[in-house]
Amino acid sequence: QVQLQQSGAELAKPGSSVKISCKASGYTFTSYYISWIKQTTGQGLEYIGYINTGSGGTNYNEKFKGKATLTVDKSSSTAFMQLSSLTPDDSAVYYCARVNYDYFDYWGQGVMVTVSS
């Protein structure tokens, strides 16, 4: 069965970076893009961008350019998202999701990132 297993919760200081992972199983990893989505109570669900798991090509929401960097390791079927120059506004739950055409058919369990001094 398709599974996206994300890494654990992160507590980070303002100005630092975090890198969270999303390990896929149960399907051919390079056949589907992976997207990342931010969820906060105030802003709801926000699309960050996607990575082409075959080529490594990326597309970012303008709002997250310079904030998020998406990478992939095909050998381990894992996608990564690094968040840099963290501020309290980056505190959120971050999901990876498998892209099927123009929708998200499988989601990871989410990673809570808390930015606090």
Partner 1 sequence: DIQMTQSPASLSASLGETVTIECRASEDIYSNLAWYQQKPGNSPQLLIYDANSLADGVPSRFSGSGSGTQYSLKISSMQTEDEGVYFCQQGLKYPYTFGAGTKLELK
- Say which DSSP state 61 is in: -
- Kindly state whether residue 1 participates in binding partner 1, applying the rule CB under 8 A: no
Taking the C-alpha atoms of residue 96 and residue 23, their distance in angstroms, rounded to an integer, is: 9
Taking the C-alpha atoms of residue 70 and residue 62, their distance in angstroms, rounded to an integer, is: 14
Residue 92 CB, shortest distance to partner 1, in Å, is 13
Among 46, 73, 85, 89, binds partner 1 (CB under 8 A): 46
- Kindly state whether residue 9 participates in binding partner 1, applying the rule CB under 8 A: no
Residue 16 CB, shortest distance to partner 1, in Å, is 26
- Kindly state whether residue 5 participates in binding partner 1, applying the rule CB under 8 A: no
- Residue 69 near residue 18 (C-beta atoms within 8 A): no
Residue 99 CB, shortest distance to partner 1, in Å, is 9
Interacting positions 62-81 with partner 1 (CB under 8 A): 62-63
Taking the C-alpha atoms of residue 74 and residue 29, their distance in angstroms, rounded to an integer, is: 7
The alpha carbon dihedral of 75, 83, 34, 3 has a sign of positive
Taking the C-alpha atoms of residue 70 and residue 60, their distance in angstroms, rounded to an integer, is: 9
Question: Is the CB of 12 or the CB of 93 nearer to partner 1?
Answer: 93
Question: Is the CB of 16 or the CB of 109 nearer to partner 1?
Answer: 109
- Say which DSSP state 23 is in: E
List interacting residues with partner 1 (CB under 8 A). Answer: 35, 44-47, 49, 59, 61-63, 95, 100-110
